Amino acid sequence: MNNKNQKLELTWIGKENWPRLEPRVLLEDPKKSYHAAQRVTENDLFDNRLIFGDNLLALKALEQEFTGKIKCIFIDPPYNTGSAFEHYDDGIEHSLWLSLMRDRLVLIQKLLSDDGSFWVTIDDNEAHYLKVLCDEIFGRSNFLSTVIWQKKYTQANDAVNFSDNHDFILVFAKDKTKFILNSLPREEKQNQAYKNPDNDKRGNWKATPLHAKSGGSNSTKFIYKFNNGVVWTPPTGTFPRFREESLRRMDNNNEIWFGANGKSIPSRKTFLSDVKQGVSPKSIWLYDEVGHNHEARTEAKLLLPDDPFGTPKPERLMQRIITLATNPNDLVLDSFAGSGTTGAVAHKMGRRWIMVELGEHCQTHIIPRMKKVIDGIESGGITDAVGWKGGGGFRYFHMAPSLLEKDRWDHWVISKNFNAAMLAEALCKLEGFSYNPSDTIYWQQGHSTERDFIYVTTQNLSRDQLQQLSDDVGQERSLLVLCSAFRSKSDGFTNLTIKKIPKQVLASCEWGHDDYSLNVENLPKAPTKPKQKSLFDIAGGDK
């Protein structure tokens, strides 16, 4: 018998293997960062981030600073279809794909704000497995919808079975009780049903039925007589939508319509001024509303005619997602940035953004695209619809190398690429401290609380040096000291915790692992299992 409270989990080969991610330092490259020559409006946003590097390591690098701060995360990951794209190798064995997606989703869930939401595009190959995986990570109670996006408008008559015309967009909230889905703006065609045939001073209205398809058990006996003498009862099989006192109020307020002759079946006058000014989104998004693949490829060709991105998403699709999920100045993250559509649309809509991309199209597609957006010379997509004129900017980051590397004797040592500041920042991340070096106190390089600090040095510290540190720190504060070596017993200083580097951090992470991309060879290795002893070993062996 099933226990209804039992937590159901998706299982697959290798699920128990988790990567031990190194929290990398992000290094800004000012030469590739970009901003407008001047402010266009007072609302220009400059602190957007484009990160070049493996997206799993990048998510880990963002964890400390951005946990609980991102309002909307959208990803368009490789679909695991078995086909090859120019910019992605899309297609790996099913269980490996699940492991690689799981690792990213866990970090994504942490980064979301409590009122944030997660949106992921996928097709039939993995959609239903991905839904169950997301249920496990986000909680089934936080599932919002499966949106169907009509990505093609033509029928493929050469299809073996069904013509593939749609993708799915799975939508989850971080906390469904705190998430608010925005409305879509009303369109003119939605207002065309509202007229004013009786010149009501309250403006346009439309007639809506007084009956409903469901109601109370005694509703079939309902009879009401209006002020003009018309007697009304709900049609057979239906029920009154309103109580008698509500009908009386509407009748007295000239909110009931009896047709031009005054004798037709009564209906309620629903005024346009009373309906909400936005509309709730449907779960089916048609191509004429949010764009399609052909529209997206046309946009890509306008941006880079000689090298358009192969699998873009239309800007109108991203506009709808960002409209529903965020408000101006909110933070949007896309860790599979592709050609940069998410950042381009977010920028035009006044949202802050972070994009991550490992492929070379970060340089060849995203940077040129965002420069055009910032300079106001990119005319495609939603530019005209939102009245975009340019402005703002972004900062470009790449990931620092692994903190540790092996020397010629195969020993782990601190990478020669790290200077003192990079080393301090890296070890702050590793130990869970916020890197914030003091301008006046040399040993205050970071903090975890107002009284708990960290100091990183490659020196061999003598007892006198440790005593001086202990005196400076005082008994009201504590200091974690990371150094190459120390010549004293560490338990002699109650306000200091002393660790040797790299010895004390060797077991913390997978060092030197730079690529966790969606390729089989980049998967984490299974933990080494201890060799099982044979009966021969247990008996003592050959003596």
409 Cα distance to chain centroid: 43
∠ Cα 306 336 417 (to 5°):
95
Strand partners, 435: 446
Q: Could you read off the pLDDT tens digit of each residue along the chain, which spans 543 residues?
A: 444 445 667 898 889 999 999 999 999 999 999 999 999 999 899 999 999 999 999 999 999 999 999 999 999 998 876 654 555 555 567 888 899 999 999 999 999 999 999 999 999 989 999 999 999 999 999 999 999 999 999 887 777 889 889 999 999 999 999 999 999 988 888 888 899 999 999 999 999 999 988 765 555 578 999 999 999 999 888 889 999 999 999 999 999 999 999 889 999 999 998 887 888 999 999 999 999 989 988 888 888 777 777 678 999 999 999 999 999 999 999 999 999 999 999 999 999 999 999 988 899 999 999 999 999 998 889 999 999 999 999 999 999 999 999 999 999 999 999 999 999 999 999 999 999 999 999 999 999 999 999 999 999 999 999 999 999 999 999 999 999 988 777 677 999 999 999 988 899 999 999 988 755 455 455 555 544 443 333 333 333
Q: What's the token pair of residue 490?
A: 């560490």
Under 8 Å between Cβ of 94 and 126: yes
Under 8 Å between Cβ of 138 and 107: no
Q: How far apart are CA 406 and CA 412, in angstroms?
A: 4
Confidence (pLDDT) at 528: 53
Confidence (pLDDT) at 82: 61
Question: Which structural domains are found in the chain, ordered by start?
Answer: 64-185+280-359 (3.40.50.150), 188-276 (no CATH), 404-513 (3.40.1350)
Strand partners, 170: 120, 146
Q: How far apart are CA 429 and CA 23, in angstroms?
A: 6
Q: How far apart are CA 309 and CA 429, in angstroms?
A: 35
Name the strand (E) or helix (H) holding 34: strand 34-35
Confidence (pLDDT) at 540: 38
* CB neighbour class for 335 (10 Å; exposed up to 12, middle 13-18, buried from 19): buried
Smallest CA-to-CA distance from 139 within 43, 7, 266, 36 is with 7
The reported pTM is: 0.84
The answer to whether the bond into 502 is cis (omega within 30° of 0) is: yes
CA distance to 60, 467, 501, per residue, from 389 (Å): 35, 60, 51
Strand partners, 171: 119, 145
∠ Cα 182 187 191 (to 5°):
115
Q: How far apart are CA 98 and CA 518, in angstroms?
A: 10
